[in-house]
Structure 1
Amino acid sequence: MEPSPQIDAEELAKRVGLTLRKIRQERELSLQQLAEVTSVSKLTLGKIERGDANPSLAIIWKIANGLKIPISLLLNENNEIKLSRKHEGNNVLSANEACTLEPIFDLPTYGSSEIHRAFLKPKSQYSPGAHQLGVIEYVTVMAGELIIHIEDEEYHLYEYDAIKFQADKVHTYVNPTEQTTVLHFVMTYTKS
């Protein structure tokens, strides 16, 4: 089976919008109620649902955290078998464009875990903040180095080192090198 081609930003925006509207309607939330639980403006949420806005990674995290869902759910694809090759799937940029996150396998339903590749630019940092309560992150450095700040603690990881932590704490990823750092994320979610 051939890998699916990377979709463009417009198609991704439409997909995120349709999925968000479906989830909001399933939960019987108004746009105003969704804005309150996600801390994203009603205007922005309306644009996302219509596919008129291409949300940044920060906005997608806010929505996922507010709804207590994995972000890959917002990038949903419904394939039985899927091959995931780097840079060929969906990807989302952080607001400062320092980090590109690629869900490795999109989840067709509300899942309890998700897997991502991330590419952190040289001499940059990515600060997702704190995720929803109960999220655990497993991060492995596949290439390069990573300094991760978890609240007041700092951890320096090298190629193939891994760390597990409660991601409902404020955390920041820093690439201290002149090369792109490649990360592998597994995130697990507790049922709420």
Structure 2
Amino acid sequence: MSDHDIINNEFNTDKGISVSPLFPFDSITNIEVLCLTLAPSYQHTSEAHNIGTIEHILVIKGEMEYLVDNQWLPLQQNEVTKFNADKVHGYRNVSDQEAIFHNIIYYAKK
């Protein structure tokens, strides 16, 4: 993570997003659990993971949208979804308040 700022177990890959591991990657289960905070009007796009990787999003605070199959889909506080993350995907905050969500990622074996 040399290109990330690490502060108290939190890393920022870009201004407008912070990522904190709730459960770091477990090589037995191939799962990690992250808490992400998106600044107002912030958008982040991720490259595809390995085939079979699945992301689960649980919105803790605010409202957001997630990108899957080239379509932005809305999520409100207390809503959840899951999707195949083996293609380009993303997250964006569509409000003027911060959005916080938990992301449970199952990484398919290579």
CA 182–146 in structure 1, closer or farther in 2 if over 3 Å, else same: same
Of all paired residues, the percent bearing the same amino acid is: 26
1:144 Cα offset (Å): 0.2
Match of 1:155 in 2: 73
TM-score by length of 1: 0.52
Structure whose alpha-carbon radius of gyration is higher: 1
Query: Which of these residues, 59, 71, 83, is aligned with residue 165 of structure 1?
Result: 83
Relative contact order, CA 8 A, sep 6+: which one is greater?
A: 2
Q: Where does 1:36-115 land on structure 2 (aligned, <5 Å)? A: 54-56=2-4, 89-95=8-14, 97-107=15-25, 109=27, 111-115=29-33
1:130 Cα offset (Å): 1.6
Match of 2:46 in 1: 128
TM-score by length of 2: 0.86
1:113 Cα offset (Å): 0.5
CA 156–108 in structure 1, closer or farther in 2 if over 3 Å, else same: closer
1:107 Cα offset (Å): 3.9
**Deviating more after overlay: 101-110 vs 156-165:** 101-110
Task: Looking at secondary structure, tell me which structure has more strand per residue.
Answer: 2
How far apart, CA to CA, are the structure 1 residues paired with 2:101 and 2:68?
Answer: 16
How far apart, CA to CA, are the structure 1 residues paired with 2:18 and 2:92?
Answer: 13
Deviating 4+ runs (over 6 angstroms): none
CA 113–149 in structure 1, closer or farther in 2 if over 3 Å, else same: same
Residue 89 of structure 1 contacts residue 104 of structure 1 at CA under 8 Å; is this kept in 2? no
Aligned residues: 110
